[in-house]
Amino acid sequence: GRTEELQDPFEGSNWNPGDIAKAFYSGLFAYAGWNYLNCMIEEMNNPQRDLPIAIIFSCLVVTVVYTLANVAYLTVVSMSEMLSTPAVAVTFANRMYGPMWWIMPLFVAFSTFGGVNGSMLTASRVFFVASQEKQMPQLISFLHVDRLTPIPAVIFTCVVGLAYLLITDIYALITYLGFVQWLAIGATVFIVLLFRCTRRDVPRPVRAPLVFAVVYVSVTTFLVIFTFVGAPRESLMGVLIILTAVPVYLFGCVWKNKPKSFERMMHQLTIGSQKFLRLVPGS
């Protein structure tokens, strides 16, 4: 290998704040697994102990592995080639493994499958809880009678994921959803800070140091503001994605006296799904 590309890794970098914020989205997208763990607290026997350990050690391991992988790439592939090639790992494998290059796309597929599996596991729990809170159809809160898995929520997650595949530009999709995601998470962490001041006596099973929350809100504020300034089109698309939920919320949650025909249709759908998928109410 060679080390020329490691001598001055930031040479020729673009220091525009908006572009830096967009670059952060791609990086944070790769490390977003820690946030999914927060959706799995209900599945843990001892979240007070296990959640912090899982987040800290998973982030450390992934950071080390990703850093070493990029160092390995740069000892074989030049910076210009890394920026121009659509698949850095395949280019790396072509030069290192020769006729065995095909093993790299295979492992990438395995990694992708693992990422999809984790996303389905956690995102479906969000829909499951939303249904329990009567913010989504009751059917989504149902469980399989034997395995106790939220099958309707998993199916709904798959449908949403397939809809996202209609957007062919992956980097535009990351920016759209990244803006929405970090806006929502930043607001959530800000509420944690607010409640620490206004609701001091509320029981907190998992308590994080305030300094982490302050740093987190500061970083997310930077990301959201500078992304909106540097990429207004993508940011507005993210806002539109949020706004599409407003009519759905008004129809599903605010409007109580729905037509009898609609209620009958939903009831028949629920009963039919229960019989076909062997479902029972989650409660």
6 found inside a domain: no
Strand partners, 281: 142
Below-70 pLDDT ranges, the chain: 1, 283
Q: Could you tell me if residue 276 is left (phi over 0), alpha (psi between -120 and 50 degrees) or otherwise beta?
A: alpha
- Give yes or no for a contact between 59 and 72, defined as CB atoms under 8 angstroms apart: no
| pLDDT given for residue 278 in this prediction | 92
Radius of gyration of the chain (CA): 22
Query: Tell me, what amino acid is at 148?
Result: L
The whole-number pLDDT of residue 169 equals: 77
Residues ≥6 apart with Cβ < 8 Å to 17: 222, 226, 229, 230
- Cα gap 58→219, rounded to integer Å: 21
Does some domain include residue 107? yes
Joined together, the tokens standing for residue 227 give: 């992304």
Write the pLDDT tens digit of every residue in 22-50. 777 777 777 877 778 888 887 888 888 88
Q: Which domain holds residue 142?
A: 13-281
Own/partner pairs for 115-118, CB < 8 Å, 24+ apart?
Answer: 115/33, 116/161, 118/33, 118/36
Q: What is the pLDDT of residue 55?
A: 86
DSSP character for 250?
Answer: I
235 contacts 228 by C-beta, under 8 angstroms: yes
pTM given for the model:
0.77
Q: Note whether residue 36 is domain-resident.
A: yes
Quick check: 96 and 133 in contact, CB under 8 A?
Answer: no
Domain membership of residue 192 (yes or no) is yes
Taking each helix axis from N to C end, the angle separating 170-198 and 210-230, rounded to the nearest 10 degrees, works out to 140
The pLDDT of residue 154: 93
CA angle 95, 89, 5 (to 5 degrees): 70
- The separation between CA 161 and the C-alpha centre of its own chain, rounded to angstroms, equals 11
Query: Is residue 8, in this structure, part of any structural domain at all?
Result: no
Give the pair of three-digit tokens for residue 185: 């998470």
DSSP string, 99-155: GGTTHHHHHHHHHHHHHHHHHHHHHHHHHHHHHHTTSS-GGGGEEETTT---HHHHH
Task: Give 143's strand partners.
Answer: 280
Q: Is residue 176 included in any domain, yes or no?
A: yes
Q: Is residue 3 part of a domain?
A: no
Would you state the pLDDT for residue 1? 60
Among 189, 180, 187, CA closest to 228: 180
Can you give the length of the chain in residues?
Answer: 283
Q: How many CB atoms lie within 10 A of CB 255?
A: 9
Amino acid at 201: D
Domain tally, the chain: 1
pLDDT at site 141: 92
Other CB atoms within a 10 A radius of the CB of residue 238 amount to 23
Helices and strands (DSSP H and E) totals, the chain: 13, 2
Answer whether residue 2 is part of any domain: no
